Structure 1
Amino acid sequence: MSLKTRFSLVALALGAAFSATAADEVIVVTGDRFDSAPEQQLAVVNTIERVEIEQLNPKSVVDILERLPGVSVTRTGGTGQSASVSVRGANSDHVLVLVDGVRISSATLGSVSFSSLSPEQVQRIEVVKGPRASVWGSDAIGGVIQIFTRKLDQGQWFASAEVGSDAYRRLSAGAGVRHGDGRTSVTLSTEQSDGFDAKRDDETDDDGYDRITAGVSGEQTLNDRWQLNWAGQYSTGNYEYDRQFGGNEADFDNFYWSLGTQYQQGDYTSKVTVGQARDYNDNFRDGTPDHSIYQTRREQLSWSNQFLASDMLTLIGGVDYYTESVSGDYDKDERDVLGVFALARVDLDAWLLEAVVRYDDVEKIDAETSYNLSAAYRFGNGWRLSAGYGTAFKAPTFNDLYWPGSGNPGLSSETGKNTDLTLSYNRDGYNAYLSLFRNDVEDLIQWAPTGEQDENGWDIWKPANIAEAKLQGVELGVDFSTYGLDHQLAYTYLDAQDETKDEPLLGRSEHEFDYSAAYAWTQWDLRLDYHYQGKRKDKDDHFLAPYHQLDLSLGYAFADNWQVRLKANNLLDEEIVSNGNYFGPGAEWFLSVSYTQF
Structure 2
Amino acid sequence: MKHNNTRGRASAQASFTLVGSLLLLTPPAVAADALTTDSSEDLDTVQVTANRIPQLQNDVLASTDVITRDEIDRLQANSLVDLLQSRNGIEVARSGPMGSQTSLFMRGTESDHTLILVNGQRVANSADGLAHFEFLPLAAVERVEIVRGPRASVYGADAIGGVINLITRGGSEVGQHAEVTLRAGSDGTFRQNAQFSSVEDDTRLSANLHHDESDGFSARDTGSEDDGYEATGAELRLGHDFGQQATLSLGVANTETDYDYDDCYDSSFSASEDCHGEGSQMVLDASLLTHLNPNWDMTVSVARTRDEYENTEAGSDAGRVASTRNEVGLRHDFYTDLGTLSLGVDHREESLDADGPYFTAEGYSVDSRYATGVYGSWHLQQQRHHVTTSLRYDDDNRYGHQMTGGSSYAYDLTAAQQLGASYSSAFKAPNLIDLYSPYGSGNPDLDAETSTTAELFWRLQQHHWHLGLNAFQTDIDNLISYEGVDFSPINIDRSRIRGVELSSGWQGEALSVNLAMTWQDPEDRDTGEQLKRRAQRFARLDADYALDDWSFGATLRGSASRSDTDADTYTDTRTAGYGVVDLRTSWQVMPNVKLSAKLDNVFDREYQLVNGYNTQGRYVEGGVTFFF
Same fold (TM over 0.5): yes
Deviations 1:46-102 (A, max 9, x none): 110000100111111111111521111111111221211111001110000000111
Q: 2:220 aligns with which of 199, 202, 217?
A: 199
Find out whether 1:164 has 2:185 as its counterpart: yes
Following superposition, the deviation at residue 543 of structure 1 comes to 1.1
Identify the residue that residue 313 of structure 2 maps to in structure 1.
285
* Alignment partners' CA distance in 1, 2:518 and 2:39: 24
Find out whether 1:303 has 2:330 as its counterpart: yes
Secondary structure of 1:574 counterpart: coil
Identify the residue that residue 392 of structure 1 maps to in structure 2.
426
> Structure with the greater relative contact order (CA < 8 A, sep ≥ 6): 1 or 2?
2
Question: Given that residues 421 and 436 in structure 1 are in contact (C-alpha distance below 8 angstroms), is that contact kept between their aligned partners in structure 2?
Answer: yes
Identify the residue that residue 155 of structure 1 maps to in structure 2.
176
Find out whether 1:70 has 2:89 as its counterpart: yes
Q: 1:512 aligns with which of 530, 538, 548?
A: 538
Following superposition, the deviation at residue 375 of structure 1 comes to 0.3
Q: 1:374 aligns with which of 408, 414, 417?
A: 408
Question: Given that residues 86 and 539 in structure 2 are in contact (C-alpha distance below 8 angstroms), is that contact kept between their aligned partners in structure 1?
Answer: no
Question: Given that residues 265 and 314 in structure 2 are in contact (C-alpha distance below 8 angstroms), is that contact kept between their aligned partners in structure 1?
Answer: no
Unaligned residue ranges in structure 1 (runs of 5+): 1-14, 450-458
Following superposition, the deviation at residue 494 of structure 1 comes to 0.9
Question: Given that residues 106 and 279 in structure 1 are in contact (C-alpha distance below 8 angstroms), is that contact kept between their aligned partners in structure 2?
Answer: yes
Q: 2:61 aligns with which of 20, 42, 54?
A: 42
Deviations 1:339-388 (A, max 9, x none): 00001122121111121000000112110000001100001241100100
* Alignment partners' CA distance in 1, 2:66 and 2:414: 26
Aligned runs of 1:37-116 on 2, under 5 Å?
37-116=56-135
* Alignment partners' CA distance in 1, 2:312 and 2:37: 45
Identify the residue that residue 31 of structure 1 maps to in structure 2.
50
Question: Given that residues 264 and 314 in structure 2 are in contact (C-alpha distance below 8 angstroms), is that contact kept between their aligned partners in structure 1?
Answer: no
Following superposition, the deviation at residue 19 of structure 1 comes to 12
Q: Output the amino acid matched with 1:433.
A: G
Secondary structure of 2:326 counterpart: strand
* Alignment partners' CA distance in 2, 1:149 and 1:17: 29
Deviations 1:302-342 (A, max 9, x none): 111110121x4110110010100011321101111100000
Identify the residue that residue 449 of structure 2 maps to in structure 1.
414
Q: 1:255 aligns with which of 275, 282, 288?
A: 282
* Alignment partners' CA distance in 1, 2:462 and 2:186: 43
Identify the residue that residue 218 of structure 1 maps to in structure 2.
238
* Alignment partners' CA distance in 2, 1:460 and 1:334: 23
User: How high is the TM-score relative to the length of structure 1?
Assistant: 0.93
Following superposition, the deviation at residue 152 of structure 1 comes to 2.5
* Alignment partners' CA distance in 2, 1:17 and 1:470: 39
* Alignment partners' CA distance in 2, 1:59 and 1:243: 25
Secondary structure of 1:191 counterpart: strand
* Alignment partners' CA distance in 2, 1:150 and 1:482: 27
Identify the residue that residue 177 of structure 1 maps to in structure 2.
198
Following superposition, the deviation at residue 482 of structure 1 comes to 5.9
* Alignment partners' CA distance in 2, 1:155 and 1:21: 30
* Alignment partners' CA distance in 2, 1:149 and 1:588: 27
Find out whether 1:272 has 2:313 as its counterpart: no
Deviations 1:212-265 (A, max 9, x none): 010112210123212111122100120000124147101111110101101012
* Alignment partners' CA distance in 2, 1:353 and 1:552: 42
Question: Given that residues 264 and 313 in structure 2 are in contact (C-alpha distance below 8 angstroms), is that contact kept between their aligned partners in structure 1?
Answer: no
Q: 1:512 to 1:38 in 2, by over 3 A?
A: same
Q: Output the amino acid matched with 1:486.
A: S
Q: Output the amino acid matched with 1:400.
A: D
* Alignment partners' CA distance in 2, 1:460 and 1:475: 40
Identify the residue that residue 370 of structure 2 maps to in structure 1.
336
User: How high is the TM-score relative to the length of structure 2?
Assistant: 0.88
Following superposition, the deviation at residue 275 of structure 1 comes to 0.6
* Alignment partners' CA distance in 2, 1:482 and 1:127: 24
Question: Given that residues 97 and 146 in structure 1 are in contact (C-alpha distance below 8 angstroms), is that contact kept between their aligned partners in structure 2?
Answer: yes
* Alignment partners' CA distance in 1, 2:75 and 2:176: 25
Following superposition, the deviation at residue 581 of structure 1 comes to 2.1
Q: 2:211 aligns with which of 169, 185, 190?
A: 190
Question: Given that residues 86 and 558 in structure 2 are in contact (C-alpha distance below 8 angstroms), is that contact kept between their aligned partners in structure 1?
Answer: no
Aligned runs of 1:484-523 on 2, under 5 Å?
484-523=510-549
Q: 1:235 aligns with which of 255, 263, 287?
A: 255
Question: Given that residues 111 and 130 in structure 2 are in contact (C-alpha distance below 8 angstroms), is that contact kept between their aligned partners in structure 1?
Answer: yes
Q: Which runs of 4+ in 1 moved over 6 A?
A: 15-20
Question: Given that residues 171 and 199 in structure 2 are in contact (C-alpha distance below 8 angstroms), is that contact kept between their aligned partners in structure 1?
Answer: no
Aligned runs of 1:427-576 on 2, under 5 Å?
427-449=462-484, 459-481=485-507, 484-539=510-565, 540-576=571-607
Identify the residue that residue 138 of structure 1 maps to in structure 2.
157
Question: Given that residues 99 and 259 in structure 2 are in contact (C-alpha distance below 8 angstroms), is that contact kept between their aligned partners in structure 1?
Answer: yes
Deviations 1:527-569 (A, max 9, x none): 1000001100012441111111110110011112211111110
Following superposition, the deviation at residue 285 of structure 1 comes to 3.1
* Alignment partners' CA distance in 2, 1:179 and 1:426: 38
Identify the residue that residue 323 of structure 1 maps to in structure 2.
349
Following superposition, the deviation at residue 483 of structure 1 comes to 7.5
* Alignment partners' CA distance in 2, 1:56 and 1:23: 18
Secondary structure of 1:92 counterpart: coil
* Alignment partners' CA distance in 2, 1:23 and 1:235: 33
Question: Given that residues 127 and 143 in structure 1 are in contact (C-alpha distance below 8 angstroms), is that contact kept between their aligned partners in structure 2?
Answer: yes
Q: 1:178 to 1:382 in 2, by over 3 A?
A: closer
Q: 1:19 to 1:321 in 2, by over 3 A?
A: farther
Q: 1:160 to 1:24 in 2, by over 3 A?
A: farther
Find out whether 1:590 has 2:616 as its counterpart: no
Question: Given that residues 16 and 433 in structure 1 are in contact (C-alpha distance below 8 angstroms), is that contact kept between their aligned partners in structure 2?
Answer: no
Secondary structure of 2:71 counterpart: helix
Identify the residue that residue 7 of structure 1 maps to in structure 2.
none
Secondary structure of 2:265 counterpart: coil
Secondary structure of 2:446 counterpart: coil
Deviations 1:386-417 (A, max 9, x none): 10000000010111110021000000000110
Q: 1:97 to 1:35 in 2, by over 3 A?
A: same
Deviations 1:278-319 (A, max 9, x none): 12110013643x231111110000111110121x41101100
Q: Output the amino acid matched with 1:426.
A: Q
Question: Given that residues 82 and 115 in structure 1 are in contact (C-alpha distance below 8 angstroms), is that contact kept between their aligned partners in structure 2?
Answer: no
Corresponding pairs, count: 571
* Alignment partners' CA distance in 1, 2:594 and 2:373: 48
Question: Given that residues 35 and 462 in structure 2 are in contact (C-alpha distance below 8 angstroms), is that contact kept between their aligned partners in structure 1?
Answer: no
Identify the residue that residue 3 of structure 1 maps to in structure 2.
none
Following superposition, the deviation at residue 479 of structure 1 comes to 0.4
Secondary structure of 1:93 counterpart: coil
Following superposition, the deviation at residue 473 of structure 1 comes to 0.6
* Alignment partners' CA distance in 1, 2:333 and 2:479: 35
* Alignment partners' CA distance in 1, 2:519 and 2:211: 38
Secondary structure of 1:55 counterpart: helix
* Alignment partners' CA distance in 1, 2:348 and 2:596: 43
Unaligned residue ranges in structure 2 (runs of 5+): 1-33, 267-273, 354-360, 566-570
* Alignment partners' CA distance in 2, 1:230 and 1:334: 27
Secondary structure of 2:427 counterpart: strand
Q: 2:388 aligns with which of 354, 369, 390?
A: 354
Percent of aligned pairs with the same amino acid? 29
Question: Given that residues 140 and 393 in structure 1 are in contact (C-alpha distance below 8 angstroms), is that contact kept between their aligned partners in structure 2?
Answer: yes
